[in-house]
Amino acid sequence: MTIEFAVIGGTGLTAIEGLEVIHREVVHTPYGEPSGPVTHGMIEGKRIAFLARHGYTHNIPPHKVNYRANLWALKSLGVEKVVAMAAVGGITPEMKPTRLVIPDQIIDYTYGRAHTFFEEGLTDVTHIDFSWPYCPEVRNALLAAAECAKLDVVPHGTYAATQGPRLETAAEIARLERDGCDLVGMTAMPEASLARELGLCYASCAVVANWAAGKDTDEITMAEIEQNLLLGMASARALLRALVC
């Protein structure tokens, strides 16, 4: 049976509620080991694959994720469409904690990550068009699923991909806002561009876990993030269930 799509789970999503697990598959890649075995399962009668980006025990920090191995593993299994879940900080007023956002743009502030498959044994230098980093087909499917499930989502936004694992300073967030960023997270890049290099149709659903630094008077705490993720990820799971209806 064809895999309808793969889900890459971020912080707060290491399993999908309602997924009937068929089996878990260890995939070895030319780029090292993925974050964990790929879970194959059925949900609402459709076959999907699931991979926890940070590991199933959430022990891999964002700058240590083997993005190339993760994407290559999914591609090798016949996956064509990928939904990437991510926990993010909100910068602009619309991006309130617990909201779901379907971003449409990225600005990359990461460094030192293995960010391309096009390095060795090339006959020509290879470039990809990355003007619009998220696949419109999957983005539109996510937006339609949100409408079907009556979920309050923001249908656009620019994701600032920072290095991590520390959170940003208030001055850094002010700079990101001046740059035009609405959200800040640590995993959109190079995941999105690697997916494009492999020809995967890739889009993201971001869950706002907290106001970014300097956007609220309170210090950012893990307790706050975890509480907001409980609410936000419940909506994200509802979105995924609607996506396969």
Q: Which residues fall in the annotated binding site for substrate?
A: 186, 210-212
pLDDT digit string, tens, across residues 189-234: 999 999 999 999 999 999 999 999 999 877 788 888 888 888 888 8
Q: What span, in angstroms and rounded, lies between the C-alpha atoms of 24 and 180?
A: 41
pLDDT average, residue stretch 137-155: 94
Sign of the torsion formed by the C-alpha atoms of 49, 50, 51 and 56: negative
For 56, the token pair is 């199933």
Sketch the domain layout of the chain as residue ranges: 5-243
Pairing of strands 153-154, 38-43: unpaired
Judge whether residue 1 has pLDDT over 70.
Answer: no
Judge whether residue 170 has pLDDT over 80.
Answer: yes
Backbone angles phi, psi at 7, to 5 degrees: -115, 125
Q: Which residues fall in the annotated binding site for phosphate?
A: 11, 53-54, 187
CATH number for the domain running over 5-243: 3.40.50.1580
Q: What span, in angstroms and rounded, lies between the C-alpha atoms of 245 and 240?
A: 9
User: In terms of residues, how long is the chain?
Assistant: 245
Q: Which residues fall in the annotated binding site?
A: 11, 53-54, 186-187, 210-212
Question: DSSP E strands: which ranges in 120-241?
Answer: 153-154, 158-161, 183-185, 201-211
